[in-house]
Structures are given as structure tokens and as C-alpha cells.
């Protein structure tokens, strides 16, 4: 086997791992109705499980992801995979609603492995192909997000929501073994203390207008994306009853078309500025919410989901590729800033979506999604993102 072939296989394994681990954060979305029944809580309370999982993930990104520049990454990934396995098992056997909210947050906190992988893929890639390597890993990550809803809805509907989490725990162990055999040792790029490492984050934000613009746009877009996937199960409930989780899962499959665009988005990022790509992809997301508002019934949701996921995935891949290229030696920290802001937007979108559903129903959800995606386009158009003279990473 040539070095190039081995590298491609390693990057594909990284893509599979990214998808499997990130799915841990999203299994709950098509299962919120089942979780509400299990713990005798309202739909609005059940949405807190999804929201706190995302908040936990954002916290993990802030506190753990910078370690990718400070620690040997293969060891850090191994520890996090073991912790993810433990949290999945604990979530499956949670005794009540308060415990499941806390465990959801902890599960999100340790499920940050997918964000360690794109900078590693860029480092392993042949010269001039970093964008494509990132696109490949992101394809796996995005497919994991989509299929998590399908698996969560379909498997949970057949065997109960606990089975989803127990199966996922076993998968973490299998992937851990495979990664230990395939990933190379990558010495850290930063030699200071953890405290000094964290202090450099503010400098990165201050130096890079592109980072600030892209992160804010990503937060708004992911907020719109999250509010849809949190509330669609409630919209399907009256029409499909007990089959609603399975239908939400099948609906998620329609979004898989967006994943096909991820590798091409990586190539676009090598030749086009992210601002142009975001304008097109963000417009698709706005069109998706307009389609949802004007249509009626399950089959109207299918083209809307295709547009929504396609816009989201293309925007995310091209944005990440540009962010990571700003200062390669600080890739994990740049990714930290971008992803923390993005997932805070997702968590707020989940909360806002549950409130919109509670007070205004589906039309309120569609109106809110349209508003935040249009705001993202405005920020992308007006926000600063000029190239700056980059001093060496600290």
C-alpha cells in the first residue's frame, strides 16, 4: 500500500469517526416525543434535552478543542472516545428527567472528537489538497448529523430510544481501536500552558475580521437549522402519531443530498472566497423556510429539507476551510472560536424554536427560521472580512 493510499484510507476513517461521534448529539431530536412520554414531561421540556446537549457541546468545544494545539491529538481523541462511550451508556439508563438533561450536556461536552479531525486531515493531505481533505471529513460529519436523525427515529421507534444509545456506545469502542491503529502521532504545535493557550483565543478573534464574520453567520444559519430539526417532530405528531419518529428519520434521509456537495464545497473553498459561497448557500436556506411556510403536509417538507441541508452543508464546509487557513499553526484554536460561536447559535435556535412552536405553531417556526437565515445573509454582506497581516501564531 502506497503512502497516498494509506493517507486516503485514514482520512476516510476520520470521516466515519466524525459522523459517528457527532451523531451522539443529535439522536435525541427525532426521539423528543418518546423522551417526553418516558419521563412524563411536556414537549417544551423535552426540547431542553436537545438544547442542553448542544450547550454542552459548545462548552466542550471551548474548553477541550484548543487542546488539539497543546496535546498529542491521538491520545486526546482516545480519551474522549472512551468518555463518550461511558456517557452514552449513562444516558440510556438515566433514572429521570433532571438526570437525562445533565447527562445530555455531559455527552455533548465530550463529543468534540469530530472537530479535532479537520485540522488533522488538512495536515495529512498532499500539498494543495487541504480543502478536499477537510471536505471529505466534513462529508462524514454531516452525514452523521443527518443519519443520526434517521437512525434515532427508525431504531428508536422499533426498539425504544435506549437501544439507540447503547448501540452508539459499542460503536465508539470499535472506532477507538481502528483510530489507534491508523492515526499517526502528531506532536503539538503549542508549547505553553493551558491558561496561556486559552488567552490566545482573544487575540485570534481580534486579528481576524474574516473569523468574526464567518462565525456570526454560522451561528445564525445553524440556529435556523437547529430550530427546524427540534420542532419538526412536533409538527409530524398530529398527522403520523406513533410513526412520527420514523417519519422524521426518513425525512432526514432527504437531506443526505446536501452531504454529496460537501467535497465540492471543499474544492470551491480552494478557489472562491467564502463570502460568495455563503451568499448562494444561505439563500437556499432562506428559500427552504419559505417553502415550508407556503406548503402543507409531509411531502412539502421534502424539497424544503433538501434545500435546507444543502445550503447548510455547503456553507459550513467552505467556512471551515477558510477559517482553518487563516493561521495553520493555530488551527485547533481557530476552529474553537468558529465552532463555539456556531453551536451557541444552534443552542439558542433550539430554545427559540421551541418557544415559537409553543406560542405560534408551525408558521411561527417557519417565520423565525426565515428571519434568522436572512439576517445571516445580511451579516455576510455587510460584515468585515478583509485580509489582515497575520503575525505568527502564539
Task: Report phi then psi at 14, rounded to 5.
Answer: -60, -40
Question: d(Cα 78, Cα 59) in Å, to the nearest integer?
Answer: 19
Which residues have C-beta within 8 Å of that of residue 4, sequence separation ≥ 6? 126
State the pLDDT at residue 392: 43
In the chain, what are the domains?
3-183+191-382 (1.20.1250.20)
State the pLDDT at residue 30: 80
Asked if residue 186 lies in contact with residue 77, where contact means CB atoms within 8 angstroms, the answer is no
State the pLDDT at residue 218: 94
Cell numbers 470499535 correspond to 174
Question: d(Cα 305, Cα 85) in Å, to the nearest integer?
Answer: 31
State the pLDDT at residue 288: 93
DSSP string for residues in 216-261:
HHHHHHHHHHHHHHHHHHHHHHHHHGGGHHHHHHHHHHHTHHHHTT
State the pLDDT at residue 112: 93
State the pLDDT at residue 286: 95
- Give the DSSP H or E segment for 215: helix 209-240
C-alpha grid cell, residue 355:
418557544
The span from the first CA to the last CA of the chain, in angstroms, equals 38
Question: d(Cα 160, Cα 44) in Å, to the nearest integer?
Answer: 21
Chain Cα centroid distance, residue 130: 20
State the pLDDT at residue 389: 41
User: What is the pTM (predicted TM-score) of this model?
Assistant: 0.76
pLDDT in tens, the chain (394 residues): 457 778 888 999 999 999 999 999 988 888 888 888 889 888 788 888 888 998 898 899 889 988 888 888 889 999 999 999 999 999 999 999 999 999 999 999 999 999 899 888 878 877 777 777 887 888 888 788 878 877 887 787 788 889 999 999 999 999 999 999 888 888 887 888 899 989 999 999 999 989 999 999 999 999 999 899 888 878 877 666 666 766 776 777 776 666 666 566 656 656 677 788 889 889 999 999 999 888 777 777 888 888 898 888 888 888 888 888 888 878 888 988 998 899 889 888 988 998 899 898 989 999 999 999 999 999 998 876 544 444 444 4
State the pLDDT at residue 271: 66
Which residues have C-beta within 8 Å of that of residue 327, sequence separation ≥ 6? 204, 334, 390, 393
* DSSP label of 127: T
State the pLDDT at residue 33: 81
Amino acid at each position: 500500500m502506497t503512502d497516498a493510499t494509506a493517507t486516503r484510507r485514514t482520512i476516510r476513517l476520520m470521516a466515519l469517526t466524525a459522523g459517528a461521534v457527532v451523531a451522539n448529539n443529535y439522536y435525541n431530536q427525532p426521539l423528543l416525543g418518546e423522551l417526553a412520554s418516558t419521563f412524563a414531561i411536556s414537549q417544551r421540556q423535552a426540547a431542553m434535552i436537545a438544547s442542553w446537549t448542544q450547550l454542552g457541546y459548545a462548552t466542550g468545544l471551548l474548553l477541550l478543542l484548543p487542546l488539539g494545539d497543546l496535546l498529542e491529538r491521538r491520545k486526546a481523541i482516545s480519551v474522549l472516545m472512551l468518555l463518550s462511550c461511558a456517557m452514552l451508556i449513562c444516558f440510556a439508563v438515566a433514572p429521570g428527567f433532571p438526570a437525562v438533561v445533565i447527562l445530555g450536556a455531559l455527552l455533548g461536552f465530550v463529543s468534540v472528537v469530530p472537530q479535532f479531525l479537520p485540522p488533522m486531515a488538512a495536515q495529512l493531505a498532499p500539498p494543495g489538497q487541504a480543502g478536499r481533505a477537510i471536505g471529505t471529513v466534513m462529508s462524514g460529519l454531516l452525514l452523521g448529523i443527518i443519519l443520526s436523525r434517521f437512525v434515532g427515529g427508525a431504531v428508536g421507534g422499533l426498539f425504544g430510544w435506549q437501544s439507540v444509545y447503547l448501540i452508539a456506545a459499542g460503536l465508539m469502542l470499535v472506532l477507538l481501536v481502528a483510530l489507534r491503529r491508523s492515526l499517526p502521532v502528531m506532536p503539538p504545535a503549542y508549547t505553553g500552558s493551558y491558561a496561556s493557550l486559552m488567552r490566545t483565543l482573544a487575540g485570534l478573534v481580534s486579528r481576524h475580521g474574516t473569523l468574526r464574520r464567518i462565525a456570526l453567520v454560522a451561528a445564525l444559519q445553524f440556529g435556523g437549522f437547529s430550530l427546524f430539526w427540534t420542532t419538526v417532530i412536533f409538527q409530524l405528531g398530529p398527522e403520523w402519531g406513533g410513526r412520527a419518529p420514523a417519519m422524521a428519520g426518513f425525512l432526514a434521509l432527504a437531506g443526505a443530498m446536501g452531504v454529496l456537495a460537501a467535497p465540492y464545497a471543499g474544492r470551491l473553498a480552494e478557489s472562491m472566497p467564502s463570502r460568495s459561497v455563503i451568499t448562494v448557500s444561505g439563500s437556499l436556506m432562506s428559500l427552504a423556510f419559505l417553502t415550508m411556510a407556503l406548503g402543507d403536509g409531509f411531502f412539502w417538507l421534502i424539497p424544503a429539507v433538501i434545500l435546507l441541508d444543502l445550503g447548510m452543508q455547503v456553507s459550513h464546509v467552505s467556512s471551515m476551510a477558510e477559517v482553518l487557513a487563516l493561521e495553520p499553526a493555530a488551527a485547533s484554536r481557530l476552529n474553537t472560536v468558529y465552532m463555539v460561536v456556531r453551536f451557541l447559535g444552534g443552542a439558542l435556535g433550539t430554545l427559540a424554536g421551541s418557544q415559537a412552536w409553543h406560542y405560534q405553531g408551525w408558521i411561527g417556526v417557519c417565520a423565525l427560521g426565515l428571519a434568522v437565515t436572512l439576517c445571516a445573509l445580511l451579516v455576510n454582506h455587510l460584515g468585515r472580512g478583509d485580509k489582515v497581516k497575520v503575525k505568527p501564531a502564539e
